[in-house]
Amino acid sequence: MLDIFCRDKHGSAGALCPECIELLDYAMAKLVKCPFGEEKPSCARCTVHCYQPAMRARAQEVMKHAGPRMLKSHPILAARHMLHGVLRKPRQKSVK
C-alpha cells in the first residue's frame, strides 16, 4: 500500500520517500510489539490502539488512497487484506 501511495502522492519511482519510510518503520515497530502477536486483528477492529494519533492519521490516509487501487494492481493481496480484516477478531484480555 505504501508503494502505491508514495508513487502517486510523492512521485517516487521504485523506492519509498523518507516520509513513507518513517511510517513503514513505525508500523513495523508497532507490529513487533503488538500484544496479540500472530492473532493480531486489523487495527480498525483492535481493542488496543497503539498508534500515536498523527501516525494513525497518516496510515489511514495511505489506506484510503491505496486500498481501492490495490484491487486493480494486486487483486489477490487486496482480497487477502479484506478477508483478514473480517476474520481476525481481537481476543479479550483476561482480567486478573
Strand, helix or coil for residue 13? coil
List own/partner pairs for 2-8 with CB under 8 A and 24 or more apart.
2/62, 2/66, 4/65, 4/66, 4/69, 4/70, 4/73, 5/61, 5/62, 5/65, 5/66, 8/65, 8/69
H helices of 7-74, in order, are 18-33, 53-73
Count of beta carbons in the 10 Å neighbourhood of residue 58: 19
The rounded percent of the chain whose pLDDT value lies above 90 is 43
Mean pLDDT of 12-22: 92
pLDDT surpasses 70 at 12? yes
Look up cell 488496543; give the residue: 48
pLDDT surpasses 60 at 94? no
Q: Give the pLDDT band of residue 79 (cuts 50, 70, 90).
A: confident
- pLDDT (tens digit, 9 = 90+) per residue, 28-53? 999 899 888 877 777 777 888 889 99
Q: Where are the domains of the chain?
A: 2-87
